[in-house]
Amino acid sequence: MKNIISNINKAFDHRVRLGIMSVLMVNEFADFTSLKELLGVTDGNIASHIKALEKKEYIKVEKSFINRKPNTRYSATKKGREDFQKHIDAIESLLNHKNI
């Protein structure tokens, strides 16, 4: 029997990382404040999860200034999109598995 959880990616097992990637899959980009408010987490909490996803090269960080204020925005990389889709497909496969 094939291991049906082999494509579930540990990088996405935390609800904040799952939320970040979900937002970035349906939006071209999102800024730090928007992600923080949407997911209802603290600055430090979201920053640590962003760093983990960035380290895996799943997200790209762009820093700029808007009206002299710093702005940091994030987008999913090609690798991030592909691996996240595999993760979602694996969960769907697990949910649809009936042969026990």
pLDDT tens-place string over residues 4-59: 677 889 999 899 999 999 999 999 999 999 999 999 999 999 999 999 999 999 99
Q: What is the pLDDT of residue 1?
A: 42
Q: What is the pLDDT of residue 97?
A: 74
Q: Judge whether 51 lies within some domain.
A: yes
- What tokens appear for 39 in the block? 């997911």
Q: Judge whether 4 lies within some domain.
A: no
Say how many domains are in the chain. Answer: 1
Q: Judge whether 60 lies within some domain.
A: yes
Cα–Cα distance between 1 and 38 in angstroms, integer?
A: 40
Q: What is the pLDDT of residue 98?
A: 65
Q: Judge whether 40 lies within some domain.
A: yes
Greater confidence (23 vs 67) lies with 23
Greater confidence (97 vs 46) lies with 46
Greater confidence (1 vs 65) lies with 65
Q: Judge whether 3 lies within some domain.
A: no
Instruction: With both helix axes pointing from N to C terminus, report the angle between 32-39 and 43-55 in degrees, rounded to the nearest 10.
Output: 110
For residue 60, the domain's CATH number is: 1.10.10.10
Q: Judge whether 69 lies within some domain.
A: yes
- What tokens appear for 94 in the block? 């697990």
Tell me the residue range of the domain where 31 lies: 13-95
Per-residue pLDDT band for 99 (boundaries 50, 70, 90) equals low
Q: Judge whether 90 lies within some domain.
A: yes
Mean pLDDT of 52-67: 94
